[in-house]
Amino acid sequence: MRVSLLLLVFLVQSCVLSKGAAAEPQRPNFVVIFCDDLGYGDLACFGHPTIATPNLDRMAAEGMKFTQFYAAAPVCTPSRAALMTGRLPLRNGMCSNKRRVLFPDSKGGIPAEEITIAEALQANGYATACVGKWHLGHLPQYLPTSNGFDFYFGIPYSNDMDRVNDAPKGRAPFWDPKTEYWNVPLMRNSKIIERPADQTTITRRYTEEATKFIRDNKDSPFFLYLPHSMPHVPLFRSPEFEGKSRRGLFGDVIEEVDWSVGQVLDTLRQLELDDNTLVFFTSDNGPWLIFDEQGGSAGLLRDGKGSTWEGGMREPTLAWWPGQVKPGSISRDVGSTMDIFATLHALAGVDLPTDRVLDSHDLTPVLRGAGASSREALFYYRGYQLMAVRKGPWKMHLMTQDAYGPASREAKKHGPPLLFNLEHDPGEQTDIAAKHSDVVESLQAKVSMHLGALVSAESQLESR
Ligand code: MG
C-alpha cells in the first residue's frame, strides 16, 4: 500500500514536472482563403440550390458561419488593401475615385508605410506565403515579397486584364475564346514564369503551392494567404471539373474552389495541425452581375459588385479551428474582413500598431463564443465617397449607386437618407426612414463624428 502510494506521488510529480518543462505551445497558424467576386448566395451552405460545396459545408459544420460579414469595399483593390492593413481603403492609400482598381499600366501600389498582416507576423517569426491574386501593385516594390510574404505564387492582378484582341466598344462584355485571350503573367516570387498564365489549371496549381507551403512549414507557425483568382470572370476550371456542376460553368468553378478548400483542410488534418490552425474563408466583393449566368449571385441580398447595397459587400464567411471554434456555430453579428488583422495579431500575441488609426476589431471573443466584437458601426465606401453606415440592424444610405452594368449608373444622393432594418429586410426593399426619424438622426450624428475624425487621415493621404 505504502509503495503504491509512493509510486502514485512519483507519477503525479513527474506528470506535473514534465508538463511544466514542456515547450510553450506553438503559436497558431493562420490560413485566409479569399475568393474573387463570390456572391453571398453562391455556396450550398449559404443556400445555393444546385452548386455542390461539400468541403465548405463541412467547414461550416465543423466551424463558425458568419451571416453578416463584410468586405471593406465593393471592388478588388481597396477591399484587399483593407484586409491586409485592417484599415479603411481611404486610410491606406489604396482607393481612388477615378480608377477603382489597379491595372497593368498602374504605377502605384500599397504604400511602404502601411503595415500588412504578413509584415507583422513575419517580423514575429511566422513563415508567410501569398498564393493567388495580389492586386496591390505589380511593380517590384509592391509585390507580396516586398510586403511581408516570404513566398509568392500567382497572377498579380485580375485575370481579365492584359486582354488581347479586345472587344469593340459597345459590344456585350462576353469573350470570344477563339480570338481573345488574357495575357496575364503568372509569377513565382518576383519573376514571371508563364505568360499568358494557363488559367484552366490555375485553381489546381494554387492549391498545390498552398498545400506544399503548409507541409514545408509544418514545424513553424505560418500564415498562408490564398486569394483565388476565381470566380472572377473569365471563368476557368481544370478539365476534371468540366461539366460537373448542375449550375454550369460558374458552378464548375465554385466546385473546384470547394475542392481546393478540402485539400487545404485535409492537409492540415493529415499533419495534425488542425487543432492549431485558424482558417477563414471569405471573398473580396459581391458577384459581378453584368455577366449574367457567368456571374454569381448575392442570394436574397440586393445588387452586386461595385455597389454598396448589401450584395456588393456582404460575403459568405466561415471560420474553422477544431477545438477552439464551436462546431456548427453561427455568428449573426457584424464583422468585417478588416477585423482579421486585429484577430490574427491577438492570437499570435503581437501588439497592434499604435501610430495609426485602425478599423479592425478583434474577433477572438466571437470565435470562442465568449462575447461580441467591439465593432460599433460599419461604414460603406465607394472610392472616397461615404455611401452608407450600419449600426446594429440599421443601415442608412446617404448615396446609392447600382452595381457595375451597362445601364446608367450615376450615383444618387438621398436627402433625406434611406433607412433599412437589415435584420427584418436583408434585401433592402422597404425604406422606413420616415417612420424612424430618431434612428436617422442618431446615424447622421455617427456619420458626422466619423467624417470629422477622418480629416487628419485624409491630409495624411494627400501628402503621399
Ligand atoms: Mg473582386
CA of 282 to the centre of ligand 1 (A): 11
CA of 151 to the centre of ligand 1 (A): 22
Q: Distance (Å, rounded) from C-alpha 203 to C-alpha 207?
A: 6
Could you state, in chain order, the average pLDDT of each consecutive group of 10 residues for the chain (464 residues)?
50 46 76 98 98 98 98 96 96 81 90 97 98 96 98 95 69 60 93 94 98 97 98 94 97 98 98 98 96 93 96 98 98 98 98 96 97 96 94 97 73 95 98 98 97 70 50
- Name the residues annotated as catalytic: 76, 135
**CA–CA distances in Å: residue 288 to residues 72, 294, 427:** 16, 8, 17
- One-letter identity of residue 290: I
CA of 272 to the centre of ligand 1 (A): 33
CA of 106 to the centre of ligand 1 (A): 17
Number of H helices, E strands in the chain: 11, 18
CA of 38 to the centre of ligand 1 (A): 8
| Full DSSP string of 201-232 | GHHHHHHHHHHHHHHHTTTS-EEEEEE--TTS
Give the helix/strand (H/E) hosting 386: strand 385-391
CA of 294 to the centre of ligand 1 (A): 14
For the chain, domains (ranges, CATH) are 25-376 (3.40.720.10), 378-462 (3.30.1120.10)
399: its cell numbers: 448615396
| 3 state DSSP class of 435 | helix
As a residue count, the chain comes to 464
Give yes or no for a cis peptide into 365 (omega within 30° of 0). Answer: no
The 412-421 sheet, strands edge to edge: 378-382, 385-391, 394-400, 412-421
CA angle 354, 136, 190 (to 5 degrees): 110
Give yes or no for a cis peptide into 416 (omega within 30° of 0). Answer: yes
| 3 state DSSP class of 348 | helix
Give the helix/strand (H/E) hosting 6: helix 2-21
CA of 75 to the centre of ligand 1 (A): 5
Q: Distance (Å, rounded) from C-alpha 157 to C-alpha 252?
A: 22
CA of 130 to the centre of ligand 1 (A): 17
CA of 354 to the centre of ligand 1 (A): 30
CA atoms within 13 A on the CB side of 140: 2
Does this model's pTM top 0.85? My answer is yes
CA of 284 to the centre of ligand 1 (A): 5
8 A C-beta contact, residue 237 and residue 251 = no
**CA–CA distances in Å: residue 138 to residues 82, 141, 144, 388:** 17, 8, 9, 31
Nearest to 307 by CA among 34, 37, 35: 37
**pLDDT for res 168:** 55
Nearest to 337 by CA among 100, 96, 157, 86: 86
**pLDDT for res 174:** 57
On the 0-12 / 13-18 / 19+ scale of CB atoms within 10 A, 271 is middle
Nearest to 394 by CA among 380, 404, 383: 380
Ion ligand 1, residues whose Cβ is below 5 A away: 36-37, 76, 284-285
Q: Distance (Å, rounded) from C-alpha 26 to C-alpha 347?
A: 11
**pLDDT for res 23:** 60
Q: Distance (Å, rounded) from C-alpha 81 to C-alpha 133?
A: 12
CA of 439 to the centre of ligand 1 (A): 32
